[in-house]
Structure 1
Amino acid sequence: MPDNITSLSFEEALSELEKIVRGLEGGQMKLEDAIKAYERGAALRQHCEAKLSEAEARVQAIVQRSDGSLDMKPMD
């Protein structure tokens, strides 16, 4: 995955991915540009999936105590 993608937030990566998809759907790109856009889109998708997995793990780590307060359970 290109280094500059790893520094993007989930929202930034998703926004760029949406732009790439719109560009590819438009069908106006030259073949080589479309291939490069597709490759970057695949890397962005992978980055977004990793960010979502991290967020899901953090949310699952939050447990509610019987008194209603929240606590963090240790992650494996």
Structure 2
Amino acid sequence: MLASKYPDLIKARSRELNLEYVGLAVKRYLELERLFEQLGVNVGAAKAAAAVLDPNKLPPPAPGDVQRGLLA
């Protein structure tokens, strides 16, 4: 897992993550909440950013969407 292999590097750049994407990830996979907290992500802000979004009603990703969307 990337988080266990590169924790310090990810922690140092955790503020660059798109909180909306983090919030969506936590909505879909609740077990990620603790991991994101350990990596220094403001999970409360991420949940708020994705509060009105339904992960089951998102359009399918187009090429490059994930890479562009991960960073704020």
Larger Rg: 1
Higher relative contact order (CA 8 A, sep 6+): 2
Same fold (TM over 0.5): no
Report the TM-score, using the length of structure 2 for normalisation: 0.33
Q: TM-score, normalised by structure 1?
A: 0.32
Task: Identify the structure with the greater strand proportion.
Answer: 1
